[in-house]
Amino acid sequence: MALLLALAMGLSVWGVFAGIRMYRADVKLPSDLVLALEVGSTRTGAVDSVVDRLGMRYAPAILRLMGPKLVAKYRSKIDLAGNPGGLTINRYAARRAVYGFLGGFGALVMITKGHLLLALLLLAFGAFWTEVGIWSAIRIRKDVIERTLPDFLDVLAVVVSAGLGFRQALDRVSMKYEGPWADELRITLRQMDLGMGRREAFAELRKRNDSEQVAMFVTALQQGEELGAPIVDTLVSLAKDMRRTDAQNARRKAARAVPRATLVITTFMVPATMILLGAGLILGSGTDFGTITGN
């Protein structure tokens, strides 16, 4: 009876964490996914892992169970992460199936043995391990883009002032750079080559990147195009504003780090130092603890 109860609990928790919503219709991917998959390899090379191969056959079922809204939400997250390791929504579903099965099965085993804490940890692993990877990739990628963008704008302004058109200069400079920002620009240029308008392509660039500086870059380009402002002056001014924003953010992070460091020092380092000093004084004094304890 206990085993059946544990099995029911595990299946129910798996259903909750998998985001089960019973849709009979197959999930149809949007028409622009072909383009996204085609240029997504520009971001990061696909890594064919054992987990992907094991779970790929179950990916369509997971996508149906998740429902269209949840699929669209996670597709947006994967775009923000920059398709790390060639990650697509199908690979995400495959990994969720494998990790969810491993976590749920391990939790059932631990419940039958009475290890509730380990069961909870295994359930958390099955539910959130894939999410942790995506969240980490989003954060790292955003930091790299924001560090790269000001220098990129300076170089782009020099190339444009040398006489090249903005489209040609953007292509030339992006080919000389490496990293997520250059990858994003190559995707944008490819979209324009395939017929997408410049304004729409840069709007998609802003959607794919959860970065305030990228939003500033796109907004400045669109406003400069509407107002007829010189593109070189816009790029130089934008680079200066981004560096000023970076400096302000660095000061804020440093200000937040000081109380944390003080808390760690007062909570752990000061007591540990006092204990070490006291123990050293007592041992160095040659006190016979046998006379004190009566032994």
For residue range 189-248, what is the model confidence (pLDDT) as tens digits? 888 888 888 888 888 888 888 788 888 888 888 887 777 767 787 888 888 888 888 777
- Provide the pLDDT confidence category of residue 293 given band limits of 50, 70 and 90: low
pLDDT score of 22: 31
Q: Which residues contact 181 (CB under 8 A, 6 or more apart)?
A: 144, 145, 148, 149, 152
Mean pLDDT across 81-100: 85
- Provide the pLDDT confidence category of residue 184 given band limits of 50, 70 and 90: confident
Mean pLDDT across 162-183: 84
- For residue 108, pLDDT over 50 is answered with yes
The first and second tokens of residue 247, run together, are 């400096």
For residue range 252-283, what is the model confidence (pLDDT) as tens digits? 777 787 787 787 788 878 788 888 887 777 77
- For residue 42, pLDDT over 50 is answered with no
Q: Which residues contact 19 (CB under 8 A, 6 or more apart)?
A: 65, 66, 67, 70
For residue range 47-75, what is the model confidence (pLDDT) as tens digits? 567 888 888 888 888 888 888 888 888 88
Average pLDDT, the chain: 76
**C-alpha to C-alpha distances, 228 to 25, 203, 213, 231, 239, nearest whole angstrom:** 49, 19, 22, 8, 19
For residue range 8-37, what is the model confidence (pLDDT) as tens digits? 444 444 443 333 333 323 333 344 444 444
What's the pTM value of the predicted model, to 2 decimals? Answer: 0.62
Question: Per-residue b/e over 265-295, b at no fewer than 16 CB within 10 Å?
Answer: eeeeeeeeeeeeeeeeeeeeeeeeeeeeeee
- Write down the domain spans for the chain: 2-142, 147-239, 247-284
